[in-house]
Chain A
Amino acid sequence: MHPFKIFIVEDDRLYGELLTFNLSLNPDYEVELFTCGADCVSNLYKNPSAISLDYSLPDMSGLEVLERIKKYNSEIPVVIVSGQEDVRTAVHLLKQGAYDYIVKDEDTKDRLWNSMKNIRENLQLKMEIIELKEEIGKKYEFNSIIKGKSNAIMKAFKLMEKAANTNITVSITGETGTGKELVAKAIHYNSSRSKKPIVTVNVSAIPKELIESEMFGHEKGSFTGATSRRIGKFEEANKGTIFLDEIAEMDLNMQTKLLRVLQEKEVTRVGGNQIVKLDVRVIVATHKNLTEEVRKGNFREDLYYRLLGLPIELPPLRERGNDILLLAKHFIDEFCKENKMEKLTLSASAHEKLMKYPFPGNVRELKAIVELAAVMTNTNTIDAEDITFSSAKGMTDFLLEENTLRSYIQKIIKHYLQKYDNNIVLVAEKLDIGKSTIYRMLKNGEIEI
């Protein structure tokens, strides 16, 4: 931590030297004495951590010095040390932003010492919060959060970067478990709003009758149970980002209210009249096809167009080819590190087993599967038998479709092409068919790449 730099501004040199001597007894403090206000102001570039300011100075009043300090940097805590016990002056100075008001008497030393101690502790807490925020920011760096090299994920990655560089509304679609919330957070923490909060609202998890008050807040007594004023998620996210997950689950009545808030960029709490101006970046996500929901009349078309913004589609894991192995290795490494286990590797049979599975639960399911496998193995290698799939949904769905054999063939080839980044030679080899079969199907338009 940087030294805690204190400025003492005191025209009585004896008293100033005394305070300097006293505070300098703490080896963490770096104390500098000024005998007039102008000297203090001209040395503010040294960025003091705190200032002890005599109220009566020869060249300017304590209030004037306080104002100049606050103008330079409003974050610098200023403790006023005054020879007069005047409550009105003290209240006025505290209202102007003074941190504390101390009267010169036999307790001055202890009170100033305590004030500086409190300021330092607050500063340390602030630093810790900044460091934690930076940590979170690092956690959500694009290349830390998005693991994968497939074309599908690289496309999403490029869009995320574009989203982070602007304030555009973002709509994220993708199956459950593809990482929609992580992507929303990554966009936020890589944007200019990263120092402000990201507030997540899972629309499907809030009862219909509570969602308005949850989103927009309420005034005391606005409904039974509203015992105090409460600010809503939009206000909480002001200057930051609001992430509305499962937006397709919002009922039509609420959609109308949301549309109004987005259009007007302001919110009125339930039961209140006061208008609160908003500067909120909106990111929405759904696992449903919103166009389809609009067509069915479940989602307002005008809201759809307002929310569409930059659409980012997260591919299902089964379409990400070798990303499955890359992610599996990443999750295993993380799990071993967190649990202080020796490094584990995946055997060839485990590779094969993972690559054949359709992962209906996507990345979330893969993580659970490989973590369980890491626990189940008795050696340093995870084998096929250590891997247990809890779901066969994908395969069951596939078979339940009752397609023609031709259609099944088309689906299988299409699936493999997506899985192996449209590498026709590799797909032909995997399926043990001729390359010409695939080329012919492409030419006939039976499949597309």
Chain B
Amino acid sequence: MQLKKILTYYVTGFVVFTLTLGVLEALKVIDLKGIGYVFMFFSVAIYAMIGFITRTSDPSEYYVAGRGVSSVYNGMATGSDWMSAASFISMAGTLFALGHMGLAYIMGWTGGYVLLALLLAPYLRKFGQYTVPDFLGTRYGGNPARVIGIICAILVSLTYLTAQLTGVGTIVSRFIGLPYEAGVFAGLAGVLVCSFLGGMRAVTWTQVAQYIVLITAYLIPVVVLSFNIFSVPIPQLTYGSILQRISVMENQIAGRENPNPRGIDEKELNKRIDGAKEKETRDLWAKDAAMFRARLSNPDSALKAMNADVEARLAALTPDAVNAKKLALEKEKADAMAMLNAPPQLDPKTKQPIDALDDAKKAELNAKIQAVEKSLAMLTPEAVAKAKEKAEADKKALPKDVDAAKAAWSGALATSAGQAAPPKPYLALPEGTGLLQFIGLILCLMAGTAGLPHILTRYYTTPSVKQARSSVAWSLFFIFLLYFTAPAYAAFAKYSVLENLVGISMSQLPSWIASWKVVGLFDVIDKNGDGIVQYADFVVKSTDFVVLATPEIAGLPATITGLVMAGGLAAALSTADGLLLTIANAFSHDLYYKIINPQASVQSRVLISKILLVAVALIGASIAAFVKLPVIAATVAWAFSFAASSLFPALVLGIWWKRTTTPAAILGMATGLIVSISYSILNFFSTAPNNLLGYSSPFNFFGLRHTESGMIGMPVAFLVIIVVSMLTPAPDKKLQEFVYSVRFPKGAQQGKEVEAIGG
């Protein structure tokens, strides 16, 4: 009962704390930055406290929380272990940008739990050791399989961990204004206090606490927004009609025929949308795109020409050049004046003026004088200084070398080409290779989900096989609450842009636009200079704004924005915790204890685990803070493909097909991993903006992108394992009996359900 009591206190405290901040904000005692600090400090302090209370050095507690976590709590912990910064902050934004295509993430990251529940979780729980390499080592009789398992687990988890720490750094720096690097390390401290002191036990209960924060933070803004628009606080139901309005408004913007096939009431649409002006704006962007494309087709000479141009401008502005030009101009002016004012020459015989200036000639001369005067005005010392300043700024803005130029122009090309395209229909299904990519991505994400070591380990912590089975259902339920809300977020954000931004005067932007524009998540550029915002003027730089700006769109106070930040932090920290533990355990338990020094005492094993934990954390944070691989953001999806191509096939076949042999599994895992990694890397680094829209790579099979390399790696791994198994002698009796043993719950070591944390 004590556990329930603690949770009640915790939730009450959390509500009171948030309300207090709200009141303080209303009294203008505290601003968003202050709220950010308070939220960050208190939430990390709470997680640290839980970590301290649940500290342990007992290996069973440290590695698998004493197998005492009941299915509901394990479900909650798995939920926050699973939902990362990517799920919390970026997923809704992905849906905003991709429309139907983005649903691959929703289906993939939930459907994987079906595979996990049906094919893996109960059997791993019956096996009842500590890690995924443990299972591979036992099933495939020996260290080679274990080592491959360790490599896979570390590779997959480290890729993912770095992305999480990057997420932590971004959140912390965005909200409380710490430098990004400091943000990474501040977050790291929060991660470490939990996992260092209490291993899996501390991480589990911290994750339960973090789940409560993150789900509350995620639901409040969009529930309020739905209530504001429809008076129904269930956004998951109401956004259907929003979807229809979005389609119609997009059609109007794109200038499609018959924009309103379903006859949506005009009153529900934005009447300020102006198809002609949208087209005009898009054409301007297209012109930009053409310019950048031309430069990119021959970057060397383009850069040279630009350099020469700036140099010429600067050369014309040196004092000598200015004086010379001034003199020349003054002479020109004097000549013209002289011509104009010259007394008419008289014909010596007739005494009549000859060559008299006719009116046209006079006007021409006057115009010339005016033009020269204008040019002279540009040569006053002030004007020269100004021109010089501008030329120097332009010179500074020029790319340093061809590589920098290429990078800058590619970015600009991508932006302008993106803005030049009419909005894709939000609800349209992907077609052709798009459909293949869509299905492929779903498959990779599902199989990857079921093969992620830090999630699989969670099912070792339940008290029984029966609870492991129901725990997967609970996990999916807790994840579902966030995932089925994300498309609503995306739809409401899209609607807000279309309805409240398009057609507004540049000087009267909605307040949420103004405040998030400053942060740099998007920009509003008046491309055609008419002072009115067109849809094509809205340049999205980071779709993260979808989740971050929704509280403000809904008219909620800054406290809720702070809460969302705390939720994002909780999501990133909880996932980082789980990953960190997995990596450290792969080193300490699997590599050190099981392979290098099996005589190690219980104490020394846990101690080594803890030391490695800190080491891995520092390595991960250093990569995130200092290396800042641009690849990182793009590579979260890689972790799934890698897991799907290595661990998933070996685990599934190991349980479901007794005939799977050791050499087959080792070869299969290695081949799958190598194929998948090589495909990702080759495709990623040959990807460049193509001639039409977006990016493509000449290196691809069936148009699959680097994120879907599992579509290649996974079938290869399955094939290799099956074929090699058939070619090698069947596993010996001991291994076959082991497979038998994991198939039945009877005889599983029982855990005692935890009644109270601490002590």
Q: Do A and B bind each other?
A: no
Chain A contact residues, CB within 8 Å of chain B: none
